[in-house]
Amino acid sequence: MVLEVEAIENGSETEPQANGYKVKLEVFEGPLDLLLYLIKKEEIDIYDIPIARITQQYLDYLSLMEQFDVDIASDFLVMAATLIQIKSKMLLPPDPTISGQEEAVEDPRKELVNRLLEHKKFKAAAEMLWTKVQVEQEVFTRALLDIDKENTEIAATVYDLIAAFKTVCDRQREEQEMEIAHEVMTMEQKMEELKALFTDSLEVNISRLFALAKSRTDLIMTFLTILELVKESVVRLIQDRPFGEIIAIKR
Amino acid sequence: MTKEELKPILEVLIFVSEEPIKLKHLYEILADEEPAEINLAVQELAQEFNSREGGLEMREIAGGWRISTRPQYHEYIRAYLKTKPSAKLSLASLETLAVIAYKQPVTIPEILEIRGVSSSSAIKTLLDRRLIVPKGRKECVGRPVMYGTSKEFLIQFGLKDLSELPSIEDFEELATT
Amino acid sequence: MTKEELKPILEVLIFVSEEPIKLKHLYEILADEEPAEINLAVQELAQEFNSREGGLEMREIAGGWRISTRPQYHEYIRAYLKTKPSAKLSLASLETLAVIAYKQPVTIPEILEIRGVSSSSAIKTLLDRRLIVPKGRKECVGRPVMYGTSKEFLIQFGLKDLSELPSIEDFEELATT
């Protein structure tokens, strides 16, 4: 079973020493995989599962997972409840109102066995698919021809459509969030931001300051703040020739 | 047109088509020819083409015909194109794909029932790799989205069509042993 | 490697190469082989390949080897190109279509508002492909035309009706788990 080996290698495998025994803790895909593993390990007939024993082993395994801080998915707990339920059903004496000959009482394990068998079938099918994809990954088609380039666009499915819509919505939301974030900026905050810029350099081209503005409101705020900075004599503005660049210089 | 005249034309069309070319499409291009005649010519052409035992082969895949390299030469091609094989699908993704391939159209809750474990992230991977597509909604409470396999699935797994998948009952024997 | 073993390898390399593949390249990939041996194998391969009299030929061109269609079949390639399925959309068209599908009926200014970029040429493409149709005018200043998806849209995306469109919520849970 190549797939299983691979899954184990990829999973977080730990080999802690517990009670002197070497315990191999494998990470299972789900509760059905764990059950199949236990059945295989114990060499149990899948049609006649000793439910008490398997339930105990299943629960032991879960507590082991807990000990090593492996998150136990809720699916595993649901299965634990199912196992306990089956176990208790099997302990009940047969209903005396039903005559013994009818054999109407269904084996409480039946549904679980069916699910396990069904699951095993799909595991085998997955292996078959794995083999197929291995072969096909080694097959190549011709290189692009000039005529292919006439249509380099993407083919679309409904999933592409919803993905495109989601992209547009996310983009729109981001833009709105940015606008909102900047509109709440006060002149004091803007002042701090610009003053910080002047601590790094003594002169700044003010067209650069305008380019940094993230929205119209931000742009107006930048302009007003520069005027305020000039008024407070923090900076002075110079222009070395008519229509030339305006430079703000720290006083 | 004779069958012998048809064959090289079909060969050219199979070669230039970016995707496996469907017979229906060939009928359309060669509208003056009998579909039955075209079918026969394609069959013979493929047989002849493949009998060369060259590096290339003509195959029916995803409902169409295409020319591709034989798998045994992949290492030389990779050495030349400097490509790496695409990332392998995880066990969880392959199992989910198997359930979808055999039970389609199928919903996420139904997949959960069979696998015994949530498959959302596997479904996302399969959608992103275009191996599955949404196929409408199931008419039941909550109207969940149903999924099925795509044409890309047939191509990536080298299948002519879905009927080429071995029947799920064939795996029964493996399951009981 | 024998000459017979070399030939199919050379064939696949010539087939997958985007440009005519130069002998120099072939020597590099097959570094264990004698260049003279490779030269001879390519010559023989081309002769054999072309003796089939199929639709394809192997030719030396621009200092390299390549497989191409024989010129006499050009008209069939043109016929193929005319019938080439064109159900493909650019990303801009796809986004515009997505907005229309989910927000219909919707006007051009509203689409601009949502996408943040002008969508006029995408709208034209979608109208040409009959994926969208005008759905009356909006009762507001300028009375702009509203657009919605067409029956053709449902057919191309394999939907029974609009209620089958998956919702964002359907995929949000996939992405987060």
Q: Are residues A16 and A132 in the same domain?
A: yes
User: Residue A132 falls within a domain, yes or no?
Assistant: yes
The encoded tokens of residue C116 equal 């943040």
The answer to whether residue A12 scores a pLDDT higher than 50 is: no
- Residue A3 contacts B, CB cutoff 8 Å: yes
Please indicate, yes or no, whether residues C124 and C64 belong to a single structural domain of this protein. Answer: no
CATH of the domain at B137: 1.10.10.10
Which structure tokens are listed for A165?
A: 């819509």
Å between B109 CA and nearest CA of chain A: 13
Q: pTM of whole model > 0.90?
A: no
Binning pLDDT at 50, 70 and 90, where does residue C175 land? Answer: low
Contact yes or no for B56 and C15 at CB 8 A: yes
Give the one of C9, C73, C163 whose C-beta lies nearest to B76's C-beta.
C9
CATH number at residue A161: 1.10.10.580
Q: Which of C17, C80, C166 minimises the CB distance to B145?
A: C166
* Tokens at A65, concatenated: 């997972």
Q: Is the pLDDT of residue A94 over 90?
A: no
Residue C98 shares a structural domain with residue C138: yes
Confidence of residue C84 (pLDDT cuts 50, 70, 90): confident
- Check CB contact under 8 Å for B175 and A159: no
What range does the domain containing A170 cover? Answer: 154-250
Closest by Cβ to A153, choosing from C18, C67, C90: C90
Would you call B80 and C29 a contact, using CB atoms and an 8 Å cutoff?
yes
Q: For the segment B67-83, what is each residue's pLDDT rounded down to a tens digit?
A: 999 999 999 999 999 88
Whole-angstrom distance, CA of residue B119 vs CA of residue B142: 18
Domain carrying residue B120:
91-176
Phi, psi values for residue A238, rounded to 5°: -130, 150
Residue A7 lies inside a defined structural domain of this protein: no
pLDDT digits (tens, 9 = 90+) for C120-169: 889 998 998 899 999 999 998 889 999 999 998 998 888 888 988 888 88
Cis-peptide into C85, omega within 30 deg = no
pLDDT at A69 over 80: no
In a domain, B140, yes or no: yes
Count Cβ atoms below 10 Å from residue A129 Cβ, excluding itself.
24
Judge if A121 and A166 occupy the same domain. Answer: no
Decide: helix, strand or coil at residue C87: coil
Whether residue B115 sits in one domain with residue B162: yes
Is B162 part of a structural domain of the chain?
yes
Whether residues C76 and B29 touch (CB distance < 8 A) is answered with yes
Distance (Å, whole) CA A86 – CA A112:
9
The reply to whether C49 and C111 lie within a common domain is no
Asked if residue A132 has pLDDT above 80, the reply is yes
Tokens of C141: 């200043």
The answer to whether residue A148 is domain-embedded is: no
Residue C158 within any structural domain of the chain = yes
Asked if B157 and A132 come within 8 Å (Cβ–Cβ), the reply is yes
Residues of A in contact with C168 (CB under 8 A): 162, 165-166, 169
Residues C168, C110 share a domain: yes
The residue out of B39, B73, B107 marking a domain boundary is: B73
What percent of chain C has pLDDT above 70? 96
Rounded Cα–Cα distance for residues C110 and C102 (Å): 13
- The structural domain count of chain B equals 2
Q: Are residues C57 and C25 in the same domain?
A: yes
Q: Report pLDDT digits (tens) over A150-191.
A: 655 556 788 888 888 888 888 888 877 776 665 566 778 888
Q: Are residues C58 and C117 in the same domain?
A: no
Whether B69 and C12 lie within 8 Å, measured CB to CB:
yes
Q: Is the ipTM of this complex over 0.90?
A: no
In-domain check, residue C58: yes
Which candidate, B139, B127, A162, B135, places its Cα nearest to that of C159? B135
Q: Which residue ranges in chain B fall short of pLDDT 70?
A: 174-177
| Co-location of B95 and B172 in the same domain | yes
Residue A42 included in any domain = yes
Contact call for B121 and C73, based on CB within 8 A? no
Q: Is the pLDDT of residue A10 over 90?
A: no
Same-domain check for residues C61 and C97: no
CB nearest to A158's CB, from C77, C99, C166: C166
Mutation for C interface: A74, A144, A153, most C CBs within 10 A = A153
pLDDT at B156: 93
Same domain, B96 and B171: yes
- Cβ pair C116, A167 in contact under 8 A: no
Residue B83 in domain: no
For C21-66, how does the pLDDT look when each residue is reduced to its tens digit (9 = 90+)?
999 999 999 999 999 999 999 999 999 999 999 999 999 998 899 9
Token look-up 């992230």 returns B121
A-B contacts at Cβ under 8 angstroms: 131
- Cβ separation C99–A150 shorter than 8 A: no
Q: Are both A158 and A126 inside the same structural domain? A: no
CB contact under 8 A, A129 and B101: yes
Residues 51-110 of C with CB under 8 A from B: 52-56, 67, 69-70, 73, 76-77, 79-80, 83
- Domain assignment present for residue C84? The answer is no
Q: Which residues contact A101 (CB under 8 A, 6 or more apart)?
A: none
| Number of compact structural domains in chain A | 2
| A206 falls within a domain | yes
Residues A182 and A225 in one domain: yes
The interface residues of chain A toward chain B in range 137-166, judged by CB-CB distance below 8 A, are 137-142, 145, 147-148, 157-159
Q: In the structure encoding, which two tokens stand for residue A199, read together?
A: 């601590």
Can you name the residues that pair with A129 across neighbouring β-strands? Answer: none
* B82, part of any domain: no
If asked whether residues A122 and A190 sit together in one domain, one would say no
Are B136 and C80 inside 8 Å of each other by CB? Answer: no
One domain, residues A159 and A117: no
Of B73, B105, B121, which residue sits at a domain end?
A: B73
> What does the pLDDT read at residue A210?
77
Query: What pLDDT score does C105 carry?
Result: 94
Q: Which helix (H) or strand (E) holds C56?
A: strand C56-61
Residue A5 pLDDT > 60: no
Last residue of some domain: C46, C73, C100? Answer: C73
Residue A75: inside a domain: yes
Query: Is C61 in the same domain as C96?
Result: no
